[in-house]
Structure 1
Amino acid sequence: MSRDALIVGINTYQYLPSLKAPARDAEAIAQQLHAYGEFRVHRLPEVIQEGKPKIGQKTQVSLRDLETALINLFKPRGNAPQTAVFYFSGHGIQRDAGIREGYLALSDSNPDKGFYGLSLFWLRRLLQESPVRQRIIWLDCCHSGELLNFLEADPGAHPGTDRLFMAASREYETAYESLDSEYSVFTDALLTGLDPNRVAPGIVTNHSLTDWVNHTLKGEIQQPLFESSGSEIILTRRNSEAVGAPRLAQSTIQSKDICPYRGLEFFDESHAEYFFGREELGR
């Protein structure tokens, strides 16, 4: 089963205030999905450091960069992935010119010149036409709830598709960088929620992640929004061999390639260590 993720974190802006958290946010999400989600991760912007891909701290992202990457993720020319994740951390812009619209800001977004960035309306249209079965979108930016304000028919919600849309804040709210963590408020909750070592079954699904983030951010100034439909989506799974994953303790019972169950055959003294449960009846 193919699983692809587009992880975007933009720190550098020409006409908007630069940010510190998005690149760290995005890199942490990328590593989490690679280690525990078995996702093939595409970073934007991507730089190579010590031979490994990383989210660029100062590299700029253009509208063409982001549009092309989203098309390749949700509507590729070849085979579409079974599961696709789009994560964005950076500035979000709301434009109200008779009709309210939300945008993901790019490095050269300049509202004073009429260039806002990537339209969330365009993203909704892309999702409507996407053949990807399982679609996950996490937006950590101001006004990100605009994506969930569907004025038309719910895009892509039809039998056979599973979706999880999570927005860091409502359409009229600001999303914040945390004062207590190196990550943004929403992403910090997302990272903890995605960790499969946090839960006993070792599996994080769309439902358990939504519950975790909702509970964690209850009472915060910004309130996340969620939209989930279709069947359960497994997001991450505990894997002792995963990069960065703690190794599970070895079982104290070691296999000796001996079956303790005799079927219809009788037990004798040589099988004493495998025979138990009738002590009370013998008294």
Structure 2
Amino acid sequence: MPGTSKLEARLTDLEQIARKKRLSEGQRFTVRHLAAAAGLPKETTRRWLIDREPPFNTESVWALASTLAEWSGRAITRQKIIELAELRRQDIVTYEAGQSSGVTPALKSLEGAARGKCQLLQRSTVQETGLPRGVVSDWFSRRIPPRDRDQLVRLVSYFASIAGKDFPSPVWELRLRRYWLARREAEVSQVISSSEMKEPRDANVSNVAPSALSSPDNSRVMLVGGSSFPHLTDLPAVSRNLAGLHDVLSDPRYWGISQGNCTVIENPLSAPKVVDALQDHAEAATEALIFYYSGHGLIGRSGDLALAVQDSKAFRSHLSIPYQWIRELIVESPARRKIVILDCCYSGTALDAMSAGAIGSHVAAEGTYVLTASPAHATALAPRDHAYTAFTGGLLEILKGGIPGAGPALEMEAIFRELRTRMAARNFPTPQKGARNTADKIPLVRNVAQVGEVIQYERY
């Protein structure tokens, strides 16, 4: 991120003094020594000493700062360090959300157009917009957009008025909506990553006990698929995909979702039918929310994924369901566990588009797991001589047969690893995943291989 925060400057000053003092006293100043003294993982101190990246966790920041202060013989105030750490965290969240939503580059372009019309100064911007000086300074010096909605609108409006551009406009309304959504996701992601004080970032979380299955009564499932299309190739296996998944998820031996909480939509005519139904489910779910799509995946002009419906045509992605719509509804749902399964061509695009920075963005929210049939630029397979598509057939095989030694419940990460192995062995496209921390541990169904009951299934 452009610019240097006050926290980084403060830590750098302390480090320089501490380094000189320790060296003059014949003591060593290394990653290992600093990590041991501060009680931090080596990776955390290495990121600071080499990459100049302070820890995200405020307690970790204080541990680092207090150790440097002790070594340098300087006094620091805990409250001040914690305040600087929180401001830096908010700066990172805001900057990354601005980049991922397109607000930051669009605002830079708008500012450039305004500069072409007049001499644009921070002082005059503060006077004309009524914005706090610090907010304007953050934008001009570090390219951090205002965090407050009204302040951002005022800044955009001011630049637009000078540049002679229209505002508000549909394009800017979409950018702003994406910005606030990306901010919420980024805030969650940054809070989650604060666990480094007790555990390194590369720590293995496989020792976490498996969670109990989600309550079927408080969960919602939506299975959508396209098996026949007026303008695209028919995919008859998709019809069996939907029936197979519905049978597994509704069977009490595996999970037991009720008919009222599970909606199956085959060959939807247009996007509204799917989006309206998903919104109802997303708002009602408090435990698990599962969305599955099987059919044709299309790529729009902007490179975003679209899911085909009856109205869809090749090279007419606007007639399909923008995956962005699906993602927004899922992210905003109160459900604590969210699973998205996409069995379509180019489904990995959902992961590429999904990040607010560090890990591919749209799925970065805690408790969300996305499983796709193929990488972003690869097609999915529907072999003609198989009952199911390649991906869903493999998934059903695992859900029905279980995974020996995987515990009483099949968690998403275990399913992904087993599915990836089986697909590779059959020379099928490689499944992809997008998950954040504990989302790997989301249980989908009971592991019948563990409880000793292996139910017969139709091999695809």
Query: TM-score normalized by structure 1?
Result: 0.71
2:326 corresponds to: 123
Per the TM alignment, residue 136 of structure 1 is displaced from its structure 2 partner at its CA by 0.6
1:189-214 deviation per Cα after TM superposition (whole angstroms, max 9, x unaligned) = 11112226453544211121011111
Higher strand share goes to which structure? 1
Query: Counterparts of 2:385 and 2:313 in 1: how far apart (Å)?
Result: 31
Question: In the alignment, does 2:352 pair up with 1:149?
Answer: yes
> For 1:67 and 1:131, how far apart are their aligned partners in 2?
17
Q: Distance in 2 between matches of 1:226 and 1:156?
A: 10
Is this contact kept in 1: 2:293–2:341, CA < 8 A?
A: yes
Decide whether aligned partners of structure 1 residues 213 and 238 sit closer, same or farther in structure 2, where only a CA change above 3 A counts. closer
Task: Quickly say closer, same or farther: Cα 1:213–1:151, change in 2 above 3 A.
Answer: closer
Aligned pairs for 1:148-187 (under 5 A) are 148-150=351-353, 152-153=355-356, 154-155=361-362, 157-158=364-365, 161-187=366-392
Q: Answer 1 or 2: higher relative contact order, Cα 8 Å, separation at least 6.
A: 1
Contact residue 401 and residue 455 of structure 2 kept, 8 A: no
Decide whether the 8 Å contact of 2:304 with 2:353 is kept in 1.
no
Shift in alpha-carbon separation, 1:64–1:211, aligned structure 2, 3 A: same
CA positional deviation for 1:100? 1.0
Structure 2: distance between partners of 1:86 and 1:216 = 23
SS in 2 for 1:236: strand
Where 2:424 maps in the other structure, the secondary structure is coil
RMSD: 2.6
- Relative to structure 1, the CA distance from residue 5 to residue 196 in structure 2 (aligned partners, 3 Å threshold; closer, same or farther) is farther
Aligned residue in 1 for 2:337 = 134
SS at the partner of 1:170?
coil
Residues 56-95 of structure 1 aligned to structure 2 (within 5 Å):
60-74=268-282, 76=283, 79-95=284-300
Corresponding residue number in structure 2 for 1:208:
414
Specify which of 196, 207, 228 is matched with residue 12 of structure 1. 228
**CA apart distance, 1:44:** 2.9
**Farther off after superposition, 1-10 or 119-128:** 119-128
* Deviation readout 1:241-261 (Å, 9 max, x if unpaired): xxx9759xxxxxxxxxxxxxx
The CA distance in 2 between the partners of 1:167 and 1:116, in whole Å, is 22
The partner residue of 1:31 within 247, 255, 261 is 247
Report the alpha carbon displacement of residue 81 of structure 1 after superposing the two structures with TM: 2.8
Contact 1:105 1:118 in 2 (8 A): yes
Structure 1 CA distance, aligned partners of 2:227 and 2:242?
10
Gaps of 5+ in 2: 1-214
The answer on whether the counterparts of 1:120 and 1:147 sit within 8 Å (CA) in structure 2 is: yes
CA apart distance, 1:31: 0.8
Aligned-pair identity (%): 24
Q: 1:114 to 1:228 in 2, by over 3 A?
A: closer
Larger radius of gyration: 2
Q: Tell me if structure 1 keeps the 8 A contact 2:363–2:435.
A: no
Greater helix percent: which structure? 2
- Which runs of structure 2 are paired with 1:189-200 in the superposition (5 Å)? 189-195=394-400, 197-199=402-404
Q: Secondary structure at the match of 1:208?
A: helix
Greater shift in the superposed pair: 177-186 or 86-95: 177-186
- Alpha-carbon distance in structure 2 between the residues aligned to 1:245 and 1:61: 38
Residue 147 and residue 156 in structure 1: after superposition, are their counterparts in 2 closer, same or farther (change >3 A)? closer
Aligned pair count reads 225
What CA deviation, in whole Å up to 9, does each residue of 1:66-107 have, x standing for no partner?
111221222x2xx43310111111111112x3x212100011
Q: Which amino acid aligns with 2:257?
A: F
The verdict on how the C-alpha distance between 1:81 and 1:172 changes in structure 2, with shifts beyond 3 A counting, is same
- Cα separation, partners in 2 of 1:217 and 1:42, compared to 1, 3 Å: same
**Matches for 1:257-276 after TM superposition, within 5 Å:** none
1:72 and 1:179 map into 2 onto residues whose CA distance is 35
What is the TM-score when the length of structure 2 is the normalising length? 0.45
Q: Check conservation: 2:410, 2:443, Cα contact below 8 A.
A: yes
Q: Which amino acid aligns with 2:219?
A: R
